Amino acid sequence: MDFLSKKARAIAPYTAGEQLRDRTYIKLNTNENPYPPSPAAAQALRTFPAQELRRYPRPDADDLRAAIALAEGVSPENVFCGNGSDEVLALSFPAFFDGEGAGACFADLTYSFYEVFAAFFGIPKKIVPLKADFTMDLAAMRAQDCQGYYIANPNAPTGVGIGRAQMEEFVASVPEKIVILDEAYMDFFGESCVPLTKKYANVLVVRTFSKSYSLAGMRCGYAVGSAALIAGLLRMKDCFNSYPVDAVAQAVCRAAIGDRPYYEGVIARVKAERERLQAALRGMGFTVPESRANFLFAGRGAVGGRQVYEGLKAQGVLVRHWDGPLLNDFVRITVGTPEENTILLEKLQNILS
């Protein structure tokens, strides 16, 4: 007998990047930071008192919220913490959208979890194609009848960014609709819209410790917005899981966000390698949109995306590939260390020749 619900049988889950263990790979497929967390974060992990694990963590992560608020220049009441930015995004769907409403609007080529969350929570969706140059068509999005928007900035998997001034113009033009800005990769761009949350009540910025802070294994993310928007997320959180961020993650992330000088150095190294890798890929004949993230979207070369993905995998290098008419000619390549990137280019040259 099949005990699964109709939803469980019908829904198409999000597919994460491969986590293979059959051999040693250069892993450039899940946009992890190639450099370690800061010494302060590592020290917080080493010195966390084990006896505290018998107790539940702070349910609203108050100390971490205070540290984030200090770093972002807002008040703790303007910060929400969750188990990775994915959980924050997930909770935002039932918090701000109605199943019988006009729905959520997002791009056709963007973070694919938005479509999964919309299906899971029964929220109607409005899909707007990217422009031919892979930029977001904000005018077409503005014209949609919807309750609000999800905009990944920089976008994934393209890496294309939208400057703060252009983003503010869009936000100001839709005051009656919520604009949820997914800034998972923003530290590699430097045009965060967190300052807009002080000026506009309809802006929620979602960020993560997974990318620039090198803490993907900690699973911690946060949102910044008006006190009313944060209260809505807290209501949803307490209907789902009162303790989403564990005590160790709270301590480690609190230490990490206080060590900004270390991460500025890491970000600078990643950006320098991004420019080198982008130039090399273009020199090989690939189309590569201007990336503002820690990855590159490369395709339309002498060989197809599937062939690039399989050829690199056979040589011990993992990159991300998707099937489908909009994506199958491209691969997404995480920016690694200089040594990893050099090996990637050598293996890629083997495929091309």
pLDDT single digits (tens) 248-286: 999 999 999 999 999 999 999 999 999 999 999 999 999
Please answer whether residues 97 and 286 qualify as being in contact, where contact means their C-beta atoms are separated by less than 8 angstroms.
Answer: no
Would strands 79-82 and 295-299 be described as parallel, antiparallel, or unpaired? unpaired
User: What pLDDT score was predicted for residue 21?
Assistant: 79
- In angstroms, what CA-CA distances link 47 with 131, 180, 201, 209, 245? 50, 36, 40, 20, 18
Q: What is the pLDDT of residue 338?
A: 98
- State the angle between helix axes of 62-72 and 247-257 in degrees (0 to 180), rounded to the nearest 10: 20
What's residue 15's pLDDT?
A: 86
Mean of the per-residue pLDDT values for the chain?
Answer: 96
Q: What is the pLDDT of residue 198?
A: 97
d(CA 181, CA 184): 9
The string of pLDDT tens digits covering residues 315-343 is 999 999 999 888 999 999 999 999 999 99
In this predicted structure, what is the pLDDT of residue 23? 80
The stretch 155-174 carries a mean pLDDT of: 98
Predicted confidence (pLDDT) per residue in 85-134, tens digit: 999 999 999 999 999 999 999 999 999 999 999 999 999 999 999 999 99
pLDDT of residue 89: 98
**pTM reported for the whole predicted model:** 0.96
Assigned CATH class of 39-259: alpha beta
- Per-residue pLDDT, 76: 98
* Mean pLDDT to the nearest integer, 238-257: 97
Confidence at residue 114, expressed as pLDDT on a 0 to 100 scale:
98
65: CB partners within 8 A, 6+ apart: 76, 79, 80, 81, 222
Terminal CA-CA length for the chain: 53
| The pLDDT value given to residue 92 | 98
Is the preceding omega at residue 154 within 30 degrees of 0, hence cis? yes
Task: Give the CATH class of 6-37+261-352.
Answer: alpha beta
| Spatial distance between the Cα atoms of 336 and 328, rounded to a whole number of angstroms | 23
Q: What letter does residue 218 receive in the DSSP assignment? A: G
Residue with structure tokens 């409403």?
101
Give residue limits of the domains in the chain. 6-37+261-352, 39-259
From CA 106, how far away is CA 149, in angstroms rounded? 6
pLDDT in the model for residue 162: 98
What residues form DSSP beta bridges with 12?
A: none
Instruction: State the CB neighbour count (10 A cutoff) for residue 10.
Output: 9
pLDDT, tens digit (0-9, with 9 covering 90-100), for 24-82: 899 999 999 999 999 999 999 999 999 999 999 999 999 999 999 999 999 999 999 99
Q: What pLDDT is recorded for position 326? A: 83
Identify the pLDDT of residue 211.
98
Composition of the chain by helix, strand, coil, percent to 5: 45, 15, 45
Strand pairing partners for 221? 82, 208
pLDDT for the residue numbered 179: 98
- Evaluate if residue 234 carries a pLDDT over 90: yes
